[in-house]
Amino acid sequence: MFQSLFGMFCASDPAFFPVHGLLPLRKDIKQVTLPPGSYSFLTCRTGFASHLLRHKKFDSFFSLRGTDSALGLSFLGTCTGDFSGMEKAIVRPFKRPNALCRLICFPWAGGGTSHFAQWGKLFSSSIEVSVVRLPGRESRVKEPFAKDMTAVINEITGALLKDLQEKPFAFFGHSFGAYISYAVAVHLKEKHGLEPIHLFLSGAYAPHSEAFLLMGKVNEVKDEDILEHVKFLGGTPSEFLKNEDIRKHLILTVREDVSILQTYCFEEAERKTIFSCDVTCFDGSEETVHDAEAWLNITRGDTSIYSLPGGHFYLLDPSNEIFLIKHITKCIENAAL
């Protein structure tokens, strides 16, 4: 049960780490010196947990030129300055002001923005992609983690409300992100009379299912068990897991994210709020059954379930990603007509 339950939160997400002193200097790695207060990012396309660690006493980091295929790392560049409002909580790297619809993506526990940010260039010009960035990671690494769902909902709503009032929008959430997207959607409907034109829920147990109720026990899991599960999931360079700072921050980030769900009453939300939009659920065919059918009770609209080849992180497979992009596009364009 631990593996199937914990797996719904943990992910092979692009991971950002300053790697001063962590990796051996190789021919495709050079040392760079950055201005104080700036960050050098490395992204691991198949690594676990997207978050940034910054060693305060160093302003020099190792960065990659091109791609290191052995570690699956590529250099993203630097991020400087302070962010506020939209720029802090929402990432929108490919702006499309003439798009017909906005797609808001919600990453998994411990996750950052880089995977879904790439979706911005994969969708057609009719869809503009934005990605939610929670505190405690990436450019927000110095901020304390969100302590409850209310804080998360209020920040996301505050950053997006004007945009969501301007044109149609859809939500895509994977695992932990599915619950956050659902809670934000409930808030928008109850408080602002807004509703997504489509809700895409991926790799997540329905909130009222028996498996979901067991999530309160995740924080009781020992650190060593979490690390073993990270290895079980695969995709994380061993160099990262050998570093004590990264291990500690990885565990902390996942625990803090998951604890947010324990502060929200999904049963009450489901009783009070029924959507009229269409809902689509996605799952990996090799993963523990998520009782996706139970999600379908949250709406009076059309519903569908798709099982794609792979495990919990089926969406990282290129062929599955192509399917998702095409299917989501079709759903959104049909709904927007």
Q: Which residues are catalytic?
A: 175, 312
Joined together, the tokens standing for residue 219 give 């924080």
Q: Residues 6 or more apart from 265 whose CB is under 8 A from it?
A: none
What CA–CA distance (Å, rounded) separates 303 from 199? 10
Long-range contacts of 297-305 (CB under 8 A, 24+ apart): 297/206, 297/270, 298/182, 298/199, 298/270, 298/273, 298/274, 299/199, 299/274, 299/275, 300/274, 300/275, 300/276, 301/275, 301/276, 301/277, 302/278, 303/278, 303/279, 304/278, 304/279, 304/280, 305/280, 305/281
Q: Tell me how far CA of residue 155 lies from CA of 58, 85, 112, in angstroms.
A: 31, 8, 16
Q: How far apart are alpha carbons 123 and 103 in whole angstroms?
A: 10
